[in-house]
Structure 1
């Protein structure tokens, strides 16, 4: 995927997908997952990395807490770009988190439609 210019205006929030609930309390430096270490970014595309999962957690992060140089935007058709955070975040950056469950026979896109009020 190609790196593109950030959208204007920037979204208020970006999201980290994790297979398990975040630790409580959320530490000052959030532990990197194997996927984060392997890929060097925080994935935001459920269909790419969690296609066989029936649930995951979304961690809502306030984008303005991050230096612009630590966020790269990948070109994703049909979107304003997909943000990838390079580096780490911690409890001060987390607004909230929630579990998302994908019903049998549904895609992640369909499952996430039920969360659109939270995904602002």
Structure 2
């Protein structure tokens, strides 16, 4: 598969993204435990959102220019245990040895969960979610 233009970080409503975005955002508990920052491609955002943020009332979605962080990415399964090809099926972009902040984040949106699911937010974001 081709290399993505953007990759995305979903952030819980309980840790709002400050404005302006600082030089480095704090890591999520999962990212600290894993030793890398979990990212999703535009094609993976829906599954990530529905699996890990199903009960959240809102999420922050950070769009990161892939070319800016590419040298620090390993494509691996979700647990970081099996390497794979760029954008491969079941492979996720994991950022190692660096944080994310103003220099890497191209834009941020806030999505609200309406009617008990994320479908409306995802439909409204189709043009923003770019592989």
> Which deviates the most, 80-89 or 23-32?
80-89
Structure 1 unaligned segments of length 5 or more: list them.
1-6
Q: 1:68 to 1:80 in 2, by over 3 A?
A: farther
TM (norm. structure 1) is: 0.74
Aligned to 1:4: none
Structure 1 residue 90 displacement after superposition: 1.8
Offset, 1:114: 1.9
Q: Deviation per CA, 1:2-53, whole angstroms, max 9, x where unpaired?
A: xxxxx32x11111111113311221212211212212333254112321211
Give the secondary-structure state (helix, strand or coil) at the position aligned to 1:31.
Answer: coil
1:92, 1:71 → 2: CA distance? Answer: 20
Aligned length: 110
Cα distance between partner residues in 1 of 2:60 and 2:31 = 15
Q: Is the 8 A contact 2:38 2:92 kept in 1?
A: no
Residue 25 of structure 1 aligns with which residue?
Answer: 20
Residue 91 in 1 paired to residue 91 in 2? no
Distance 2:8 2:27 in 1: 14
> TM-score, normalized by length of structure 2?
0.69
